[in-house]
Amino acid sequence: MPVEVQEDKVILKHALGSSAEVYFYGATLTSWKYHEKELLFLSKKSFLNGTKAIRGGIPLVFPQFGKASDSSVATAALPQHGFARISKFEWIGVSVDNESEVSVRFGLNDTQIPENVRKDWPKKFKLIFIVTLNDDTLRTNLIVKNEDKAPFDFQALLHTYYSVPDISKVSIEGFYNVSYVDKVNNFITNVDNDQSIKIDQETDRIYANVPTETIKINLGDESNEVFLLKRINLKDTVVWNPWIDKAKGMSDYDDDEYKQMVCVEPGNVSNYITLNPEESWEGGQIIQYKH
């Protein structure tokens, strides 16, 4: 069977050998394998029982990225990265199942989010998360629908954790001449002057309005393994690695795991998107693994 629905997750299997796993909790995609090779990072200390957001894979950030810095915005009281990643999504079903691709859908509406956060953002909405697997390509799309009587503002981001064999060998191309907010350095704004970036210290950057069509994540100096990332309607991209000290402070992340991952997170986080009643918005990413 190309799609297996289990109690806590759904497993997608492509005819040519790739697979993916998506937990109902957060609709978090925790595994993407190309012929048995795992391409996404999932911490060995991650909770998977629905008591804490999953540490790894592709958690969904909605309707707030981080903690809102402005106390007057409607999402100000929400927890870090909003509530989608801590809500249990419903299974909508399989939408495509043929030789070239398998695609499944998950849904979440305002009645399904935790009570304690619902009062902090009392809007009527619907999210649809679509996961599509091809031989060497993964596509994740998020649809947001406003089912309220008034407009609402939101941010959204696909918090993608890539598995890397050795972080010291990784380089990321696509941010040359793009300005970013450096969260590690007092949120100062900088412009990237490098053709490619290396991760050799704590890195937490919000690249805004990235014009690059394809972001390239090169996995090694000598290897030709690369992720090609295309973003759909997601203008910003966050690059994050907690490095040594931050890693030690995270209860759901092993001290050494910073060497094995990098987050490259397409989103819309440098401002808010306003959605009118009955309107929908869609954003997504297409990641191709080449080797």
Binding residues: 55, 80, 85
Asked if 265 touches ligand BG6 (CB under 6 A), the answer is yes
Shortest CB 224 distance to ligand BG6, Å: 28
Q: Of these residues, 159, 202, 213, 291, which one is catalytic? A: 159
- Separation between Cα atoms, residue 266 and residue 278, nearest integer Å: 25
Q: What are phi and psi of 242, to 5 degrees?
A: -75, -20
Distant-in-sequence, close-in-space partners of 36: CB < 8 Å, separation ≥ 6 = 17
Interaction residues for ligand BG6, span 119-138 (CB under 6 A): none
**Tokens found for residue 222:** 């000598």
Q: How far is residue 258 from each of residues 11, 161, 183, 253, 284, measured CA to CA in Å?
A: 27, 11, 17, 9, 26
Is 24 within 8 Å of 90 (Cβ atoms)? yes
Q: Is 240 in the site for ligand BG6 (CB under 6 A)?
A: yes
For Cα atoms 173, 176, 181, give the angle at the middle one, nearest 5 degrees.
Answer: 100
Whether residue 159 lies in the annotated active site:
yes
Q: Which amino acid is it at 136?
A: D
Q: Which of 21, 136, 204, 236 binds ligand BG6 (CB under 6 A)?
A: 204
Q: Quote the least distance from Cβ 239 to ligand BG6, whole Å.
A: 8
The answer to whether residue 265 is catalytic is: yes
Where is the binding site for substrate, in residues?
55, 80, 85
Contact between 80 and ligand BG6 per CB under 6 A: yes
Query: Does residue 236 interact with ligand BG6 by CB under 6 A?
Result: no
Among 127, 159, 167, 197, binds ligand BG6 (CB under 6 A): 159
Using CA atoms, how far residue 287 sits from 104, 201, 217, in Å, is: 17, 25, 10
Provide the minimum distance between the beta carbon of 198 and ligand BG6 in the complex, in angstroms, as a whole number. Answer: 18
How many residues bind ligand BG6, per CB under 6 A?
Answer: 10
Site for ligand BG6 in 36-65 (CB under 6 A): 53
Q: Which of 14, 21, 257, 265 is catalytic?
A: 265
- Cβ nearer to ligand BG6, comparing 25 with 240: 240
DSSP label at 49? S
The verdict on 241 binding ligand BG6 (CB under 6 A) reads no
Task: Select 136 or 265, whichever has its Cβ closest to ligand BG6.
Answer: 265
Q: How far is the CB of 223 from ligand BG6 (least distance, A)?
A: 26
Least distance CB 142 / ligand BG6 (angstroms): 16
Q: If you count them, how many residues does the chain have?
A: 291
> Distances from the Cα of 166 to the Cαs of 34, 76, 106, 223, in angstroms?
19, 37, 33, 11
Strand 137-146, strand 280-290: pairing: antiparallel
Residues marked active site are found at: 159, 265
Contacting positions for ligand BG6 (CB under 6 A): 53, 66, 80-81, 159, 183, 204, 238, 240, 265
